[in-house]
Amino acid sequence: MLAEKPQKPGTLMENTEKLKNSKEVIAYIAECFPKCFTLEGEAKPLKIGIFQDLAERLNEDEKVSKTQLRAALRQYTSSWRYLHGVKAGAERVDLDGNACGVLEEEHVEHAKATLAESKAKVQARRKEQAQKAREENKAKPKAKKAQQPRRQAPKAPKVEKPVETRALNADEFVTGKEVNVNMGKGNMAATIVEINKEDVRVQLANGLQMVVKAEHLRA
């Protein structure tokens, strides 16, 4: 019997549903080539020309196209995780994890610059979003405090038209006596509350109390 040939990734024996985005493509190639691509931790620097190797190895794979591979590879190599791995002394690897030479200094410096620029853009974007959020909060009308009902001052008692009155006799200055307070233009009904020599405290019909001279009280 002839030995069966190993299945290539993505042959018709597997699910041939097309991958939808770069994230799915990266997960797929990491599954196919785990010694080269990783989804967690520091990524390994890739061999120069690795796209051609990928295109050849996945040539018959119906899940992914060359356009998708190119976009996914661009996203993978521009990620902060990958750029952190491009450092002095690190070695590039091929699809099978074999070393393909130490990184050149210019590539390390380029990775550092790209990483710094990317982080600066993210920081600027976050700062802009925070500023925008603050401005939106300022623009929102502040909730008005519930207005407490104003206390209405008691209405001044209506001054009655002058009527025939007389001065109080000495024996009429007693607490509880109903009298009239002479307000100049008219009289107001009141009740004597307290007597202190010439000063007499009276309570008006609306409940207000006031001190008047005895001479202003009339019967």
User: Is 12 a residue whose pLDDT tops 60?
Assistant: no
Mean pLDDT of 35-51: 92
Record the tokens describing residue 170, joined without a space: 């000495």
Token pair 């100049």 is found at 184
Residue 135 one-letter amino acid: E
Q: How many CB atoms lie under 10 A from the CB of residue 160?
A: 13
Angle between helices 50-57 and 66-77 (to 10 degrees): 140
Percent of the chain with pLDDT over 70: 82
**pTM for the whole structure:** 0.50
Q: Is 170-218 a CATH 3.40.50.1100 domain? A: no
Structure-model confidence comparison of residues 200 and 156, the more confident one = 200
At 70-111, the pLDDT tens digits run: 999 999 999 999 999 899 999 999 999 999 999 899 988 998
Domain 22-134 -> CATH class: mainly alpha
Q: Where are the domains of the chain?
A: 22-134, 170-218
Mean pLDDT of 149-178: 71
Percent of the chain with pLDDT over 90: 35
Residue 137: which pLDDT band, with cuts at 50, 70 and 90?
confident
Record the tokens describing residue 178, joined without a space: 């109903």
3-state secondary structure of 85: helix
Mean pLDDT of 150-169: 67
Of the listed ranges 11-20, 49-58, 176-185, the least confidently predicted one is 11-20
Mean pLDDT of 172-181: 83
Residue 4: which pLDDT band, with cuts at 50, 70 and 90?
very low
Dihedral of CA atoms 72, 76, 77, 82 in degrees, nearest 10, equals -170
User: Is 131 a residue whose pLDDT tops 60?
Assistant: yes
Of the listed ranges 27-36, 39-48, 105-114, 166-175, the least confidently predicted one is 166-175
Q: Name the residue among 19, 20, 26 with its Cα closest to residue 46.
A: 26
Q: Are strands 99-102 and 91-93 parallel, antiparallel or unpaired?
A: antiparallel
Mean pLDDT of 117-142: 85
